[in-house]
Amino acid sequence: MAVFGLEPEQQRWCAELRTLAAERLRPLAGTAEPGHVNRPLVAALGELGLLTRLFPPDGPVRAVDLCLLRESLATECTEAETALALQGLGAYPVVLSGTPEQNDRWLPGVRAGRVVTAFALSEEAAGSDAAALTLRAEPDGPGAWRLTGEKCWISNAPHADLYTVFARTTEGAGARGVTAFLLPADRPGLTGRPLEMLGPHPIGSLAFDAVPVTSADVLGAPDGGFKVAMRTLDLLRPSVGAFAVGMAQAALDAACTHAARRTAFGGPLRDLQAVAHQLAEMATRTEAARLLVLAAATALDTAAPDVVKRSAMAKLLATETAQYVVDAAVQIHGARALVHGHLLEHLYREVRATRIYEGATEVQRTIIARELYR
C-alpha cells in the first residue's frame, strides 16, 4: 500500500497489520455463533495491542492512524476490522466526553478486549435523522431518570457489556434535548434480541423498561448528548471510508489474481481488453478513494476549516467505490464468486451497509452541498 504522503514507517506498520490480520486474526473469524459477538476475536485484538492503538493513553487516536489501522485490517479480515471499529464506536464517547472516573472504570477493560461496547443511537424511526429519537429518559428524583423505549440496528447488541445510550430528556427540543448515558448491560429492565442481517457482524435491538440511570451515568452534560454523538461520528467518519477502501483493495487483489490464472477464449482473462480495462478502472477508483480518505483524516488531525466537507466526501466516494469494485470483481469471477464462503460473496454482503450507516450516501451529499453554499 504505497500511498502519496505515507512515511516508510507508516507503510511498514500497514504491512505488519496485514500480516497480523492474516495470520493471527483471520483464523478466529467466523468461529462465533451467527449474530453473536466473537469474544475470542475481540480478546485477540486486545492481546495484540491493537485496541491500545485505537485508544492511546494520551488521548484520542490520530485520524490518519485510525484510517491506516482500519484499511489494513479490512484488506485481510473484515471481521477483525469490524470488531475493532465497534469497540471504537461504543467507547469513544467515554474518551471524548467521559469523566476521569468513567475512563478509569471502563477503558482498561475495553483496551484489553474484555469489555465489549456498543453505540446505541439508532431507532426504528430515527436513523439518518438521529435528532428525532424517542427513547425517553423520564425524571426519577434528583439526578436520576428511567429509560423507556427501544433502540434498533445496534451493532454488538444484545450481547455487549457496555452501551452508550442516547435518550430524550427534554421533549420538543430536537437535538438539544438528548442526553448520553453510559449503561452497563446488567442494568435491570434492559433486554434485547439479535437481528438477522445481510452482513455478518452482530447487530440487534434493545428494549428499555424503566431502566434506572443516574447523574453518574451521564456522558457530558444533560441535554448535551447529541454533541457527544456527533463528536464520536466526526472522528470515525473518514475511517469508515478506510474500511471501504480495504474491502475494495481485497476485491481488486482477488480479481487481479483470478484474471491472471483463469483462461478463456485461448488465453488468460487479463488479456481480454474488457477485463483489463475493468481492472484498470477498479484500481484507479480505489486509489482515488484512498487518497481522499487520507486527506480527510489529515484535515481532521490538523483541525482544518473544511474538515466537515472533506470527511463527507471521503465517506461518500470510498463507500460508493467499494460497492462498485466488489461488484466488478464478482463479475470478473463469475458464478464461483456467488458460492457461500467465497471471499467475494462475503465482501458483497459486507460492503453494502457502509453506504447506509454513520450517515447514508444521501446524507453525505446533503452535507457536501451545504458546505459548498457556506
Q: Where does the chain have alpha helices with state H?
A: 8-20, 39-47, 50-54, 63-76, 78-97, 100-112, 225-261, 273-301, 307-333, 343-352, 361-373
Going by C-alpha positions, the residue among 199, 247, 236 that lies closest to residue 73 is 247
Given 79, 358, 362, 371, the catalytic residue: 358
Told to judge if 150 belongs to the known catalytic residues of this protein, a careful annotator would answer no
Residues 58 and 126: their CA atoms lie apart, in Å, by: 34
Q: Are 364 and 312 in contact (CB under 8 A)?
A: yes
- Residue 225 CA to residue 233 CA, distance in Å, equals 12
Q: How far apart are CA 368 and CA 374, in angstroms?
A: 10
Main-chain dihedrals φ then ψ at residue 354, nearest 5 degrees: -65, -20
* CA-closest candidate to residue 269, choices 279, 280, 260: 260
> Is the Cβ–Cβ distance between 197 and 151 less than 8 Å?
no
Angstrom CA distances, 348 to 12, 240, 344, stand at 29, 16, 6
The β-bridge partners of 178 are: 168, 224
Helix runs in 55-99, H state only: 63-76, 78-97
Work out whether the CA dihedral 13, 60, 40, 201 comes out positive or negative: negative
Burial of residue 49, with CB atoms counted within 10 A of its CB: 0-12 exposed, 13-18 middle, 19 or more buried: exposed
| Residues noted as catalytic | 358
